[in-house]
């Protein structure tokens, strides 16, 4: 393996680690000395079963270059699968230091054509698939902290520009990715006392999941991984509750909802007065960026 050893001795879980961004992250962590648990259910773009074990193939890649990795093929959007994921790291290596939540797939439709099943499936894998591994990892780290072994723990969640700005034809995906941002902020606030830092990255890169929806993306998954590795390492001490966008050679700190122009009359408005005040405030407010695809 080649690298600086930034993650030497750390044990890292990467969900959705068999292809695309997850594979790039797993290989990058291994190159920096981490032992990696590569999770991938091995499904197609729409979540349907597919042949082969992409997680096992990535493990073979890591081992072939002198690294240490194990595969996990469970469904991390179930309580049992998420619990077994954390157990796999602890059984194989005796510890867990970093969780990278990355698993996901797409079922794109305009809202008027979006079936309930397509909504449930995408929200389940992206949002619940972030929550359950996070919950089980946090339970382990809290136990460690209470036992006098405070961890230097890191969580890197995967959101999207679709979740930050919206994306036409991706209402289910955008809602799930926006939910991941909210989850990140809450987790960061609740867990810092246990030695846990939680951040999110909105990657923009050509993968099998994005190439059809965003054909103009020039970046590749390997461009995003260095930031994820740093966030997942001890070197990122003091950084938590932040959202970054990464594309190619560009890294941006995303600044979310914050107080803008305000009017306060100290009493209840009439509808007409409220409308007049809101219209005046909008003239002083920044215009939002366009929704992707609009």
Distance of CA 16 to the CA centre of its chain: 10
pTM: 0.91
Largest CA distance in the chain: 70
Domain annotation covers residue 275: no
**Torsion angle (degrees, nearest 10) of CA 40, 45, 48, 49:** -40
Distance CA 226, CA 236 (A): 12
Domain annotation covers residue 212: yes
Q: Using pLDDT thresholds of 50, 70 and 90, give the confidence band for residue 268.
A: very high
Distance of CA 142 to the CA centre of its chain: 21
Distance CA 247, CA 214 (A): 13
Domain annotation covers residue 280: no
Domain annotation covers residue 236: yes
Q: What are phi and psi of 99, to 5 degrees?
A: -120, 120
Per DSSP, 286 falls in state P
Q: Write out pLDDT tens, residues 77-93.
A: 999 999 999 999 999 99
Give catalytic residue positions: 160, 173, 177
**Tokens of residue 18, six digits:** 């068999």
- Helix locations, the chain, DSSP H: 20-31, 54-64, 79-93, 116-123, 129-146, 161-165, 171-191, 221-231, 271-284
Q: Using pLDDT thresholds of 50, 70 and 90, give the confidence band for residue 215.
A: low
Q: Using pLDDT thresholds of 50, 70 and 90, give the confidence band for residue 214.
A: very low
Domain annotation covers residue 75: yes
Domain annotation covers residue 291: no
Distance CA 71, CA 1 (A): 19
Q: Give 106's Cβ-side CA count (13 Å radius).
A: 18
> What domain range includes position 242?
11-253
Average pLDDT, the chain: 92
> Structurally, how many domains does the chain consist of?
1
Domain annotation covers residue 233: yes
Residue 155, strand partner residues: 99, 198
Task: Identify the CATH number of the domain in which residue 99 sits.
Answer: 3.40.50.720
Domain annotation covers residue 111: yes
Q: Using pLDDT thresholds of 50, 70 and 90, give the confidence band for residue 269.
A: very high
Q: Write out pLDDT tens, residues 32-74.
A: 999 999 999 985 554 444 546 899 999 999 999 999 999 999 9
**Torsion angle (degrees, nearest 10) of CA 2, 3, 9, 14:** -90
């Amino acid at each position: 393996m080649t690298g600086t050893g930034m993650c030497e001795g750390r044990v890292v879980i990467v969900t959705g680690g068999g292809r695309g961004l997850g594979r790039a992250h797993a290989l990058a962590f291994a190159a920096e000395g981490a032992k990696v648990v590569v999770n991938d259910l091995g499904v197609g773009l729409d979540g349907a079963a597919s042949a082969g074990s992409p997680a096992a193939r990535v493990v073979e890649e890591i081992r072939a270059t002198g690294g240490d990795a194990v595969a996990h093929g469970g469904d991390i959007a179930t309580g049992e699968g998420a619990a077994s994921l954390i157990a796999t790291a602890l059984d194989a290596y005796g510890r867990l230091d970093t969780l990278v939540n990355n698993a996901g797939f797409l079922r794109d439709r305009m809202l008027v054509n979006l079936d309930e099943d397509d909504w449930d499936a995408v929200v389940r894998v992206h949002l619940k698939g972030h929550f359950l591994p996070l919950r089980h990892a946090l339970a382990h780290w809290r136990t460690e902290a209470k036992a006098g072994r405070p961890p230097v723990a890191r969580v890197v969640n995967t959101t999207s520009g679709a979740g930050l700005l919206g994306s036409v034809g991706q209402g289910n995906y955008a809602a799930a990715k926006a939910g991941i941002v909210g989850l990140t902020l809450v987790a960061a606030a609740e867990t810092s006392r246990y030695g846990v830092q939680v951040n999110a990255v909105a990657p923009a890169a050509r993968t099998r999941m994005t190439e059809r929806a965003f054909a103009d993306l020039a970046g590749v998954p390997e461009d995003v991984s260095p930031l994820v590795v740093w966030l997942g390492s001890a070197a990122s001490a003091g950084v938590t509750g932040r959202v970054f966008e990464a594309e190619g050679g560009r890294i941006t700190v995303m600044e979310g909802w914050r107080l803008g122009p305000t009017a306060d009359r100290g009493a209840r408005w009439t509808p007409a007065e409220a409308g007049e005040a809101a219209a005046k405030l909008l003239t002083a407010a920044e215009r939002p960026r366009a929704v992707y695809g609009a």
